[in-house]
């Protein structure tokens, strides 16, 4: 390569045109700011120069176009895809002044090798070798170290570090063990749009669709607020908001806020799709009043269906199915109906809270519940927090019934007298009992159908009825039974304060249980609850009556301690004063057979 005259950085490249050689010399002159004309110095095949001027658009003509008015063919030097310009002899300023269509070569600190535009930065003499843009002696240790490598650093035999070169495209290739390998492979499998993973694209979506993160073109969402004043527009937007005194309906309309009106009403609608309450007994009149007519025809005693009673029985008699039954009976001559599915309790524990499933609505007031802060749906179980305190200080086991039931020390039997599932009231009595042995062998009372004897002390000697009973009890077709109330009670004994026997008496006792028919045709109770109210005065009197030696401290101190833990929430005598604490027991049972009394 050589320079010609003072044309300012002329680059010469030869190309064949027919049988002659035409040489195109480009002068990249400085100071040509408008970029509209580029001087061209051209010579024909004889090497005689002639002047010509081409426009910028001339440089963009396809390869081989003939300049009008001349015999020179536009050489492929201007098409970098075919034969990029050789810029070996250009100065840095001349390279910077090249038109934008021409690739800028990079030969900084390079003696030889490619310039990045299809040309070369120089050539080494015949006795030198080009390695990583430097001309080296063939005996240089790096020449031998890089002989079979394309790129990367390597240690020569003499311990010096050598650079064998760079990979041509740092985005798609990488140097691994001296070899340039493909480091990124575009992946558009199953994609219509979005990135290909190698700084490329898998395509673009049309103006009415959007590319998802999964590379799919989806139609743009069109908000729909037709006929709507408020609410969502279907595209995560809003059709508007309502004023503070109105609410957005499901149909997207702003409607005035409703103010419930229950003034002077006990029940019925509140005017805003809510309720002013429900009637515990009877029916709700159109005026919002609970109306109940007592049902006492042919009854001497028992519930009147309106929360009251039809009468009470004298002390020597007991109410049974609305009649007062009195007189002495021989309990040992009692007969038990073999068709009744008697139940043996296999598990029992105190309810742990005032949540549904842990207790019942003892006072039949859905607006109240206990203990405070851990109750709902009208469930009353104030005793739960009291027991939790006793367990936490170590004077009561977590389940005081578990060991005595598992060992058989406590056999609790239930008698559903008059059992039916069509809604007719019957009674549910409870006895204490013993397993009946057969040939010296004892039945597995926790899992098997066993025979039992009722203990005589659990039967009233005048009526031959159990001391503990629930009436009225009703069972529906689904096998769910519930009943009891003001005239029902329940008693249970437990070890108190580390082994001291204490009897708990439940007033206003209620029962709720779900019965199941087993594969063998037997009846069992899977989810049973007995609830009621324990008189705090009776409980404290019983503790004070215990021998002091049976307690870890003076009985009066025990009462003072427990009095601060037990919260009264039930009024058992209707005087408006809460005198008892609600309590609940959960239980499970299996069917057995009562064969007599002993």
pLDDT tens-digit map of 476-527: 989 999 999 988 889 888 776 656 677 889 999 999 999 999 888 899 999 9
pLDDT computed for residue 344 by the predictor: 97
Torsion sign, CA atoms 371, 376, 380, 384: negative
Higher pLDDT, 400 or 41: 400
Highest mean pLDDT among 116-120, 155-159, 207-211, 455-459: 455-459
Contact 354, 375 (CB under 8 A): yes
pLDDT computed for residue 44 by the predictor: 35
Q: How far apart are CA 598 and CA 595, in angstroms?
A: 10
Percent of the chain with pLDDT over 70: 79
Contact 167, 183 (CB under 8 A): no
pLDDT range class, residue 105, cuts 50, 70, 90: confident
pLDDT computed for residue 186 by the predictor: 82
Closest CA to 165 of 131, 194, 137: 131
Distance of CA 102 to the CA centre of its chain: 61
User: Residue 75 above 60 pLDDT?
Assistant: no
Region of 252 please: left (phi>0), alpha (psi -120 to 50) or beta.
left
Question: Among 441-450, 470-479, 548-557, where is mean pLDDT lowest?
Answer: 548-557
Run of H or E residues at 145:
helix 141-145
pLDDT range class, residue 452, cuts 50, 70, 90: very high
pLDDT in tens, 321-331: 677 776 667 78
Strand 10-17 to strand 343-350: parallel, antiparallel, or no bridges (unpaired)?
Answer: unpaired
pLDDT computed for residue 327 by the predictor: 63
* Average pLDDT, rounded, for the chain: 79
CB 136: neighbour CB atoms within 10 A?
A: 19
Q: How far apart are CA 531 and CA 502, in angstroms?
A: 18
Count the residues in the chain. 598
**Mean pLDDT calculated for residue range 459-472:** 85
User: Residue 23 above 50 pLDDT?
Assistant: no
pLDDT range class, residue 18, cuts 50, 70, 90: very low
Domain limits, the chain: 10-96, 331-597
Closest CA to 305 of 297, 295, 313: 295
Contact 360, 529 (CB under 8 A): yes
Highest mean pLDDT among 119-123, 261-265, 379-383: 379-383
The pTM score is: 0.48
pLDDT computed for residue 315 by the predictor: 62
pLDDT in tens, 543-598: 888 777 767 677 788 788 778 888 999 999 888 999 999 999 999 999 999 999 99
Highest mean pLDDT among 87-96, 103-112, 164-173: 103-112
Higher pLDDT, 465 or 367: 367
pLDDT computed for residue 170 by the predictor: 65
User: Residue 130 above 60 pLDDT?
Assistant: yes
The residues, ordered by sequence, that sit 6+ positions from 13 with a Cβ below 8 Å of its Cβ are 23, 24, 75, 77, 83, 85, 86
pLDDT computed for residue 262 by the predictor: 92
Higher pLDDT, 73 or 293: 293
**Mean pLDDT calculated for residue range 375-395:** 89
Question: Is residue 549 classed as helix, strand or coil in its secondary structure?
Answer: helix
User: Residue 199 above 90 pLDDT?
Assistant: no
Q: How far apart are CA 9 and CA 142, in angstroms?
A: 36
Run of H or E residues at 384:
helix 383-392
The residues, ordered by sequence, that sit 6+ positions from 332 with a Cβ below 8 Å of its Cβ are 456, 596, 597, 598
Whether the upstream peptide bond of residue 472 has omega within 30° of 0, thus cis, is: yes
Closest CA to 404 of 300, 536, 299, 496: 496
**Mean pLDDT calculated for residue range 432-455:** 90
Q: Where are the beta strands (DSSP E) in 46-172?
A: 49-55, 129-131, 134-136, 153-155, 161-163
User: Residue 46 above 80 pLDDT?
Assistant: no
pLDDT computed for residue 86 by the predictor: 53
User: Residue 191 above 90 pLDDT?
Assistant: yes
pLDDT computed for residue 441 by the predictor: 75
pLDDT computed for residue 92 by the predictor: 66
pLDDT computed for residue 597 by the predictor: 93
Q: How far apart are CA 405 and CA 347, in angstroms?
A: 7
Q: Phi/psi of residue 489, each to 5°?
A: -145, 165
Q: How far apart are CA 561 and CA 34, in angstroms?
A: 103
Higher pLDDT, 34 or 351: 351
pLDDT in tens, 404-419: 999 999 999 999 988 8
pLDDT computed for residue 496 by the predictor: 65
Region of 165 please: left (phi>0), alpha (psi -120 to 50) or beta.
left
pLDDT computed for residue 4 by the predictor: 23
pLDDT computed for residue 188 by the predictor: 92
User: Residue 78 above 50 pLDDT?
Assistant: no
pLDDT computed for residue 95 by the predictor: 64
**Residue 508, token pair as written in the block:** 């206003």
User: Residue 6 above 90 pLDDT?
Assistant: no
pLDDT computed for residue 7 by the predictor: 26
3-class SS letters over 319-362: EECCEEEECCCCHHHCCCCCCCCCEEEEEEEECCCECCCCCECC
**Residue 363, token pair as written in the block:** 């006072």
**Residue 159, token pair as written in the block:** 């311990």
């Amino acid at each position: 390569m050589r320079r010609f005259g003072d044309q300012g950085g002329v680059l010469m490249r030869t190309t064949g045109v027919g049988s002659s050689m035409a040489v195109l010399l480009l002068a990249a002159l400085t100071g040509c700011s408008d970029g509209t004309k580029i001087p061209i110095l051209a010579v024909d095949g004889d090497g005689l120069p002639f002047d010509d001027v081409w426009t910028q658009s001339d440089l963009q003509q396809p390869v081989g176009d003939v300049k009008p008015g001349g015999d020179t063919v536009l050489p492929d030097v201007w098409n970098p895809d075919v034969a990029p310009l050789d810029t070996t002899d250009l100065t840095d300023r001349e390279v910077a002044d090249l038109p934008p269509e021409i690739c800028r070569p990079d030969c900084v600190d390079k003696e030889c090798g490619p310039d990045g535009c299809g040309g070369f930065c120089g050539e080494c003499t015949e006795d030198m070798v080009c390695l990583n843009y430097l001309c080296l002696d063939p005996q240089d240790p790096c020449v031998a170290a890089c002989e079979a490598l394309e790129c990367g650093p390597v240690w020569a035999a003499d311990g010096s570090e050598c650079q064998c070169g760079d990979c041509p495209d740092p985005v798609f290739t990488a140097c691994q063990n001296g070899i340039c390998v493909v480091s990124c492979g575009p992946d558009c499998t199953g994609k219509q749009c979005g990135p290909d993973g190698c700084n490329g694209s898998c395509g673009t979506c049309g103006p009415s669709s959007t590319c998802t993160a999964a590379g799919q073109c989806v139609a743009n969402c069109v908000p729909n607020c037709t006929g709507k004043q408020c609410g969502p527009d279907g595209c995560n937007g809003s059709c508007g908001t309502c004023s503070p005194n109105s609410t957005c309906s499901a149909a997207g309309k702003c409607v005035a806020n409703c103010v419930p009106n229950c003034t002077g009403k006990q029940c019925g609608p509140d005017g805003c799709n809510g309720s002013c309450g429900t009637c515990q007994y009877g029916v709700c009149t159109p005026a919002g009043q609970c109306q109940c007519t007592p049902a006492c025809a042919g009854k001497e005693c028992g519930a009147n269906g309106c929360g009251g009673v039809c009468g009470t029985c004298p002390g020597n008699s007991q109410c049974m199915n609305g009649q007062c039954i009195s007189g002495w009976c021989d309990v040992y001559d009692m007969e038990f109906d073999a068709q009744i599915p008697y139940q043996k309790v296999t598990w029992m524990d105190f309810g742990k809270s005032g949540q549904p499933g842990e207790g019942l609505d003892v006072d039949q007031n859905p607006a109240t519940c206990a203990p405070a802060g851990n109750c709902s749906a009208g469930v009353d179980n104030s005793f739960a927090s009291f027991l939790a305190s006793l367990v936490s200080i170590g004077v009561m086991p977590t389940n005081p019934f578990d060991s005595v039931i598992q060992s058989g020390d406590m056999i609790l039997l239930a008698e559903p007298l008059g059992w039916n599932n069509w809604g007719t009231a019957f009674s549910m009595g409870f006895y204490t009992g013993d397993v009946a042995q057969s040939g010296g062998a004892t039945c597995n009372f926790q899992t098997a159908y066993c025979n039992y004897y009722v203990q005589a002390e659990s039967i009233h000697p005048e009526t031959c009825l159990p001391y503990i009973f629930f009436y009225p009890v009703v069972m529906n077709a689904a096998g769910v039974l519930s009943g009891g109330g003001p005239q029902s009670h329940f008693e249970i004994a437990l070890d108190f304060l580390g082994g001291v026997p204490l009897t708990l008496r439940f007033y206003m006792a209620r029962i709720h249980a779900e019965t199941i028919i087993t594969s063998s045709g037997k009846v069992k109770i899977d989810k049973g609850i007995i609830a009621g109210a324990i008189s705090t005065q009776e409980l404290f009197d019983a503790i004070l009556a215990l021998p002091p030696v049976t307690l870890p401290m003076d009985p009066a101190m025990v009462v003072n301690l427990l009095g601060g833990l037990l919260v009264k929430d039930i009024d058992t005598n209707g005087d408006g004063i809460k005198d008892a604490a609600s309590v609940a027991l959960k239980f499970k049972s299996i069917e057995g057979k009562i064969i007599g009394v002993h």
